[in-house]
Amino acid sequence: MEHHHLLLQLSPPPPPPPLPAVHLMMSPSFFDAGVFADVGGDWMEDLMHLGELFGVGVGGDDDDNGGVDGRVGGGDDRMQEWQNNCEGGGSPDHQPSCGDGDGDGDGDVSPRDGELGDGDGDNSATRKRRDRSKTIVSERKRRVRMKEKLYELRALVPNITKMDKASIIADAVVYVKDLQAHARKLKEEVAALEEARPIRPPPPSAA
């Protein structure tokens, strides 16, 4: 714990340092020889989908940020670490992340599909592969979106102690409580002050 990282303590408006410089790297095994080794021919759609996040392929809504407010944190999109892309590479078939007992043999198509049908390269295995990589991209977008929201929340809270995701939310919680209490106190103070002088209703100043 203690995670010193950098603890930059940025004030809300000014340039937001993109958070502790976590992971930020690109594994050399991506775009490596092993990726294009024994796969048949449909690795392209995987790369297209996987590349959506970078903005290289489709001009997409990568930076969603248009939901809450105007400007927020700025583009702090970063590249993640592609550990072992696990798809399109050495093991084309799914390794379902756990021994699931293979009770449901619904899919489980023959591996290394693609050139065994010769004519139709769009059998169920290819289709499954395709929308799997689409799911991966969607999930990654979802993660990025939540992280951005977390960053703008962090940018609003003045006293950040730690940079953990959970600690950011915790600090935001105490800050919101403080702010609520402060606003309430201020409000009743202004009420008492106005009550002391009934004449001249208060200048509304700003609507």
Partner DNA sequence: TATGACACGTGAAAC
Partner DNA sequence: TGTTTCACGTGTCAT
Distance CA 178, CA 130 (A): 49
The C-alpha atoms of residue 158 and residue 92 are separated, in whole angstroms, by 48
Could you say which residues in the range 177-196 bind DNA, by CB under 7 A?
Answer: none
Chain positions 56 to 75 lying near DNA, rule: CB under 7 A, are none
Query: Phi, psi at residue 70, to the nearest 5°?
Result: -75, -110
Q: Which is nearer to a second copy, 99 or 119 (CB)?
A: 99
Measure the N-to-C terminal CA separation of the chain; round to a whole number of Å: 48
Binding at 35: pick from a second copy, DNA, none (beta carbon under 5-8 Å per type): none
**Residue 32 touches DNA, criterion: CB under 7 A:** no
The b-or-e profile of 138-158 (16+ CB within 10 A means b, else e) is eeebeebeeebbbbbbbbebe
CA distance 31 to 202: 68
Task: Quickly list DSSP for 20-75.
Answer: S-------TTTTSTTTTSS--STHHHHHHHHGGGTTSSS----S--TTT-S--S--
- 106 touches 126 (CB < 8 A): no
Closest distance between a second copy and the C-beta of residue 128, in Å? Answer: 16
What Cα–Cα distance (Å) separates residue 115 from each residue in 2, 32, 123? 54, 22, 11
Residue 174 contact among a second copy, DNA, none, beta carbon within 5 to 8 Å by kind: a second copy
Q: Which of residues 49-108 bind a second copy (CB under 8 A)?
A: 67-69, 72, 83-84, 86, 89-91, 95-101, 103-104
Instruction: Please select the residue that binds DNA; options are 12, 96, 111, 158, rule is CB under 7 A.
Output: 96
Site string (137-166) toward a second copy, x via CB under 8 A? -----x--xx--xx-xx--xx-------xx
Q: Which residues bind DNA (CB under 7 A)?
A: 1-5, 7, 20, 22-23, 25, 50, 80-83, 85-87, 94-98, 100, 104, 131-136, 138-140, 142-144, 146-147, 163-166
Q: Which residues bind a second copy (CB under 8 A)?
A: 1-3, 34, 67-69, 72, 83-84, 86, 89-91, 95-101, 103-104, 142, 145-146, 149-150, 152-153, 156-157, 165-166, 169-170, 172-177, 179-180, 182-183, 185-190, 192-194, 196-197, 202-203, 205-206
